[in-house]
């Protein structure tokens, strides 16, 4: 249940089309190993991507991705037992180039023991104004089936729809910028079937008890994101980005990031600082005053007020720059992200303090990636 | 409310798409002036498999989502 958001990888299909609508993406293969380690959770696995042009106008991309989860998170240790599970995801996409227009279609299937997700996506990109501007319209439809590992008869459906408009603009010979709107609607069973909320209970030895969470059956979110990348005079680049998010659950957030890219010979080094701050969902409460206190109830720490910061360091080394047989070039990349999350309204119950006076929870996690890429 | 938002987005997009028909807009950065934008260090998303993964992590750890889809890059030229 930890990292199931399969639609994210649709970016694999859309990313190149957005700003290079008149050009098919490069043929390439990537083999990546990822490891997330923090807050009692360890998630690792491979991601393999292969992209190949077929004929003059079509490019095909496939991706295989695995999350192997071992979780003893703060949620798990306070209300359940540690668990292990695996999520497997397959994706297949096609780009069709016609003049200055690129059409992209994709399909993603994600499977785990208690959750299945299928997503269908489609986008159209058009180059305009002498290829200075690229406009992209995108749509994705997701069908999820939520189960329970302890109840074979439990099955609930979700439907997700994504509507996106993206604009990439060359502003000067040194500056490129993008602007994106995205509306996402969900309808169905949106809460976690295992997670509980906490309520005050004087009859309990701890002063509180738990009951199942209950979310609204719909959610609509709107996000606007912008980013700009500037070429510095000594061949380096700096990127600034910002996103505003708001949804019908009452969450508003601001996200900003600054990236610096510096090449030295075959090496490229990147450093990135990212900051995210959000308000809580209207139905979130760390400690409800009584059982069934409100119509909807949630205590998912990701729906709490929080401030998240991360620092990333990334290095890549390019090899085979003169090519070798059918390979044009290769690169090896390694990165680490240090993620720090301060929850402003989520108590750490493992501290064993008196109810209402527990310390707030903090999460530190490290995210490692190492991958090899080949262009051919 | 939701339908209105989507309708407004689509209308804005269609209006933008129709702009070239008006003509008269000269590209102010010529193709031969885009060498720096074609440098790989200027790609907004040089490694899609990596950026898709880390975005997946952020969406799992935070309450926000979307608005970052157009992670392209490059110069719009061959």
CB contact under 8 A, A236 and B41: yes
- Average per-residue pLDDT for chain A: 92
pLDDT-wise least confident of A20-29, A82-91, B66-75: B66-75
Pick among B49, B57, B59, B75 to test the A interface (most A CBs inside 10 A): B49
In this prediction, residue A337 carries a pLDDT of 98
User: What CATH number corresponds to the domain at position A65?
Assistant: 2.40.160.40
CB contact under 8 A, A333 and B55: no
Q: Is the pLDDT of residue A142 over 90?
A: yes
Average pLDDT over residues B34-48: 92
**Residue A349: domain span:** 6-375
Task: List chain A residues with CB under 8 Å of B45.
Answer: 11, 15-16
Instruction: Please report whether residue A1 resides in a domain.
Output: no
The better pLDDT of the pair B40, A21 is held by B40
CB contact under 8 A, A8 and B55: yes
The ranges assigned to domains in chain B are: 30-63
Task: List chain B residues with CB under 8 Å of A128.
Answer: 17, 19-20
- The pairs formed by A299-303 with CB atoms below 8 angstroms and a separation of 24 or more are A299/A195, A299/A196, A299/A197, A299/A198, A299/A213, A299/A346, A300/A75, A300/A191, A300/A192, A300/A195, A300/A213, A301/A74, A301/A75, A301/A343, A301/A346, A301/A361, A302/B60, A302/B61, A302/B62, A302/B63, A303/A249, A303/A251, A303/B63
pTM of the entire structure? 0.89
- How far is the alpha carbon of B12 from chain A, nearest alpha carbon, in Å? 9
Average pLDDT over residues B48-55: 92
Average pLDDT over residues B2-30: 66
Where does the pLDDT of residue A256 fall: very low under 50, low under 70, confident under 90, or very high at 90 and above? very high
ipTM of the complex: 0.92
Instruction: Please report whether residue A266 resides in a domain.
Output: yes
In this prediction, residue B58 carries a pLDDT of 94
In this prediction, residue A77 carries a pLDDT of 83
The better pLDDT of the pair A56, B25 is held by A56
Q: Is the pLDDT of residue A250 over 50?
A: yes
Q: Is the pLDDT of residue B76 over 50?
A: no
Taking the CA of residue A296 as centre, how many other CA atoms within 13 Å lie in the half-sphere pointing to its CB? 15
Q: Kindly identify which residue of chain A lies nearest to residue B61, measuring between CA atoms.
A: A302
User: In total, how many domains does chain A have?
Assistant: 1
- How far is the alpha carbon of B66 from chain A, nearest alpha carbon, in Å? 6
């Amino acid at each position: 249940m930890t990292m199931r958001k399969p639609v994210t990888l649709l970016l694999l299909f859309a990313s190149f089309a957005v700003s290079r609508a008149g050009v098919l993406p490069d043929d390439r293969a990537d083999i990546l190993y990822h490891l997330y380690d923090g807050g009692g959770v360890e998630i690792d696995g491979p991601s393999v991507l292969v992209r190949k042009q077929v004929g003059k106008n079509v490019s095909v991309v496939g991706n295989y991705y695995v999350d192997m989860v071992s979780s003893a998170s703060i949620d798990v240790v306070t209300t359940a037992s540690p668990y292990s599970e695996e999520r497997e995801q397959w994706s297949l996409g096609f780009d069709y180039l016609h003049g200055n227009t690129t059409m992209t279609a994709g399909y993603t299937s994600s499977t785990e023991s208690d959750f299945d997700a299928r997503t269908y996506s489609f986008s159209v990109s058009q180059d305009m104004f002498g290829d200075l501007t690229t406009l992209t319209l995108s749509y994705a439809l997701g069908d999820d089936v939520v189960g329970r590992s302890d109840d074979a008869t439990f099955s609930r459906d979700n439907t997700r729809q994504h509507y996106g408009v993206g604009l990439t603009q060359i502003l000067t010979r040194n500056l490129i910028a993008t602007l994106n709107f995205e509306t996402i609607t969900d309808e169905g069973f949106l809460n976690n079937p295992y997670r509980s909320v906490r309520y005050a209970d004087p009859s309990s030895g701890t002063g509180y008890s738990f009951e199942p969470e209950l979310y609204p059956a719909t959610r609509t979110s709107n996000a606007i994101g912008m980013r700009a990348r500037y070429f510095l005079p000594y061949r380096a680049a700096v990127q600034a980005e910002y996103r505003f998010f708001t949804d019908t659950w009452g969450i508003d957030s601001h996200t900003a990031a600054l990236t610096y890219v510096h090449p030295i010979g075959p090496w490229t080094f990147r450093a990135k600082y990212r900051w995210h701050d959000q308000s809580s969902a209207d139905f979130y409460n760390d400690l409800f005053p009584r059982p069934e206190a409100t119509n909807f109830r949630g205590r998912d720490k990701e729906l709490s007020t929080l401030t998240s910061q991360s620092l990333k360091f990334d290095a890549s080394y390019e090899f085979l720059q003169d090519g070798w047989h059918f390979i044009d070039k290769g690169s090896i990349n390694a990165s680490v992200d240090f993620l720090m999350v301060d929850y402003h309204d989520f108590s750490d119950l493992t501290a064993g303090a008196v109810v209402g006076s527990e310390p707030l929870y903090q999460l530190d996690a490290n995210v490692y990636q190492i991958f090899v890429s080949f262009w051919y | 409310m939701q339908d209105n938002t989507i309708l407004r987005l689509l209308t804005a997009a269609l209006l933008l798409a129709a702009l070239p028909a008006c003509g008269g807009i000269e590209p102010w950065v010529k193709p031969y002036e885009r060498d720096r934008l074609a440098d790989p260090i200027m790609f907004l998303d040089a490694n899609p498999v990596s950026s898709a993964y880390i975005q997946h992590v952020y969406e799992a750890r935070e309450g926000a989502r979307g608005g970052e889809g157009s992670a392209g890059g490059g110069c719009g030229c061959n």
